[in-house]
Homo-oligomer: A and B are copies of this chain.
Amino acid sequence: MTSADRNPLYLDDLRVGQTFGGNETFALDTAAIKAYARQFDPQPFHLDETAAEKTLFGGLAASGWHTASITMKLMATDGPPLAAGIVGGGLDELRWPKPVRPGDRLHIKCEILEITPSKSRPEQGRIKMRTTTLNQNDEPVQIIVANLIVPRRKQTAMG
């Protein structure tokens, strides 16, 4: 299912505790881990199996920013189909509790934590959403808490 097939959600459609995700996966192999690393995180533990063994990672691991990028892909296609897209000004938290390894297959679980209509801009509001990225054994590899801007449904003039 692509996001185009999903009905757009407005702030008024969301509730605290609502969850999304779990329908799509994103697999990484050694080549993908190294390709991202060459471009954005050229450190030995992301580029070379032998060098990686002697590091804190104890073997080749994906860059945390690669995991974050994959999580964004999964949020765009398997997270909440927010009417204006996944648009945020930042995160309250980002943790990588466990390395991502070659052969891992990731999925996400999103949960709405807070919903705050804007007082100054009645056409929108803000949500706080936790997105946990999990591997094929359901072990969390990344946890983020993001603040997203979400439009409201247009109110009729007569209320």
Contacts and interface: CB of A to CB of B under 8 A. Distances in A.
Interface of A: 36, 39-45, 55-57, 63-66, 68-70, 72-73, 76-77, 84-97, 149
A71 to B, nearest CB: 8
A41 B76 contact: yes
Contact of A94 (B43, B56, B91, B96): B91
A90 to B, nearest CB: 4
Q: Is the interface of A mostly helix, strand, loop or mixed?
A: mixed
Given A77-B42, A90-B94, A95-B89, A65 B64 contact: no
A90 B93 contact: yes
Interface pairs A-B: 7 shortest CB-CB: A90-B95, A40-B69, A91-B94, A43-B85, A65-B72, A40-B73, A41-B72
Contacts of A92: 93
